[in-house]
Amino acid sequence: AAGVIQSPRHLIKEKRETATLKCYPIPRHDTVYWYQQGPGQDPQFLISFYEKMQSDKGSIPDRFSAQQFSDYHSELNMSSLELGDSALYFCASSFRGGQIEAFFGQGTRLTVV
Amino acid sequence: GESVGLHLPTLSVQEGDNSIINCAYSNSASDYFIWYKQESGKGPQFIIDIRSNMDKRQGQRVTVLLNKTVKHLSLQIAATQPGDSAVYFCAEKAGGFKTIFGAGTRLFVKA
């Protein structure tokens, strides 16, 4: 079965650079979530989109922005990268909004040097 | 603020024994709870969920118990296998889309 696809899997950036992470949800899923997971930490909710509209917002820095496109894929844009942004970034998708289980992608490991 | 916590950071069990992983949550408005399993280098994998109108739900080898009176959630794994070794997170939702994860319990299964 098709799963959530994230790209790239690994990304190395320098401080103050920008990065774009992409997420392709499971077909027919209309909701996308972004999470950040630091080493040894639990996933922290960043932001979610339902039917291409922002549906909820968590601890997403102002330097980050995201959107969901007409084909339901989503991109997380990160600017002025800091060392502390190094983490695993997970995307998850679900069907019919937030009250259904979400399926996670394999994540993008971002390293800021 | 909202928080979902786990009582133990690590749990070690013998292969074949039953495992019980506990979770305490603080938001009484939470109405949907999920257990995820995360293996090293992978994304969280859905195990089982339960809604607040239930107190028990069973899956294959797993059972989730919800006690809303004391805001406690547990995951029971029967006949634990080496493949069950992972970090287990409980997560909650209080309506909306935001999922709050707990700190995770690392399960070690000894052969």
Residue A99 CB: number of other CB atoms within 10 A? 15
CB-nearest partner of A101 from B34, B43, B89: B34
Q: Which of B39, B19, B11 is nearest to B79 (CA)?
A: B19
Cβ pair A103:B46 closer than 8 A: yes
> Integer distance in angstroms from the first to the last C-alpha of chain B?
40
Residue A101: which of B46, B102, B103 has the nearest Cβ? B46
In which band, very low, low, confident or very high, does the pLDDT at A39 lie, cut at 50, 70 and 90? confident
State how far residue A113 is from chain B, nearest Cα, in angstroms.
20
pLDDT of residue B38: 94
**Distance from the B101 Cα atom to the nearest Cα atom in chain A, whole angstroms:** 6
Q: Using one digit for the tens of pLDDT, what is the confidence trace for A44-75? A: 999 999 999 999 899 899 999 999 999 999 99
Contact A45 B34 (CB under 8 A): no
Beta pairing partners, B45 = B37
What pLDDT score was predicted for residue B8? 60
Question: Which of B32, B42, B100 has the CB atom closest to A99's CB atom?
Answer: B32
Contact, A68 vs A76, CB < 8 A? Answer: no
How confident is the model at residue B21, as a pLDDT? 95
pLDDT lower than 50: segments of chain B: 1-3, 5-6
